Amino acid sequence: MAALYADRLDFARAAERFGFAAYYVAEHHSTPLGHASSPSVFLAALSQHTATMRIGSMVHVLPAYQPLRLAEEICMLDHLSNGRLDIGVGRGASPYEVGLFGIGTQDARAVFEEALTVIRAFLREDVLSHRGEFFTYRDIPLTMRPLQPGGPPMWYGAFSERNLRFAAAHGLNVTLSGPPQRLRELSSRYRAIWRELHEGAPPPGMASMYQMFVARSDEEAARIVAPAYAKWYESMTHLWRHNNAMPRETLPPTFEQAMRQGSIIAGSAETVRQRMQQLLDASGLDRLLLQCNLGTMPHQAALESLQCFHEEVAPHLHVAPRTDGFEADAA
């Protein structure tokens, strides 16, 4: 694992050199390849290996935490990174990961929402008092403060009307999922809800996530990514199989299926550029979150893909101006 962490830090330094706007880490538990059970620990290290790009979690699994403790860690990370921190929040990738912490499926959403309420109050107030179903605090003086006023920007995965309204009510940026037309519908809807609740406020951040790899040819990309994807899928579905359950159908089991579904963008520089430009044009989004180091992919191959993206893909991508009253802000 020591070598894995060293490679990930090296990869993040390369991403910063190549002009990427941010580097995010996901939280997973009992997934054989992940070894990122604590985003906060990794981000503390990452803050000392980067200087300009934003860093953050995508996401912290809130039901796994005592929210007062996590809020203090967020403040520490905000200062360690000199105000470059973003925080993703969520309920977890599967009920089995959250279940490791004694949280049942029926309680996960309620615990998540209450924990988020506590964390947001901590980041904005001087004294914390809260009495809820799962957490209670009384008259706690808050001496640990974030560097960014009001705390770091927060991100949340929103794929339904309920989740969009929840995100807007809490002032959250959102990650969206689906084919391009669905992304356009979701992003347009979120902007409308945001204007309704936050008249005159700056627009929210909206992004969609894809796995990405650039090679010298489409065939070379498939040769490198297919076995790495197979190991990634095996790791991500490990707890489902351990509990004799079927993984969610939204996760394609093979590289070929993922390519057809569109969750992977892989191929030559020209193939990747065309696919990403089509996504930007059709979805109405102005930023993409790219998983560029997948499964058991060799570290050097991931670095070469990153450099190729920087030199041959990114300079040719264009974000169309918005027509909905918000200005586009490319990330």
Instruction: Give tens-digit pLDDT for 54-108.
Output: 999 999 999 999 999 999 999 999 999 999 999 999 998 778 788 888 888 889 9
What is the model's pTM? 0.91
CATH of the domain at 67: 3.20.20.30
Say whether 293 sits in a helix, a strand or coil.
coil
- Where b means 16+ CB within 10 Å and e means fewer, 5-15 reads eebbbebbbbb
Tell whether 148 and 220 lie within a shared domain. Answer: no
Per the domain annotation, does 198 fall within a domain? no
What pLDDT sits at residue 329?
Answer: 34
What pLDDT sits at residue 299?
Answer: 96
Say whether 184 sits in a helix, a strand or coil.
helix
What pLDDT sits at residue 92?
Answer: 82
Consecutive 10-residue runs of the chain (331 residues): their mean pLDDT? 92 96 91 83 98 96 96 98 98 81 89 97 96 96 96 94 94 91 92 93 92 97 95 84 72 90 95 94 87 91 97 90 41 34
Tell whether 227 and 97 lie within a shared domain. Answer: no
Tell whether 266 and 327 lie within a shared domain. Answer: yes
β-bridge partners, 89: 60, 156
Per the domain annotation, does 190 fall within a domain? no
Tell whether 6 and 150 lie within a shared domain. Answer: yes
Residue 147's domain spans which residues? 1-157
- With 0-12 CB in 10 A as exposed, 13-18 as middle and 19+ as buried, what is 107? middle
Q: How many domains does the chain have?
A: 2
Q: What span, in angstroms and rounded, lies between the C-alpha atoms of 212 and 2?
A: 25
Tell whether 12 and 109 lie within a shared domain. Answer: yes
CA dihedral 276, 277, 279, 284 (to 10 degrees): 140
What pLDDT sits at residue 43?
Answer: 98
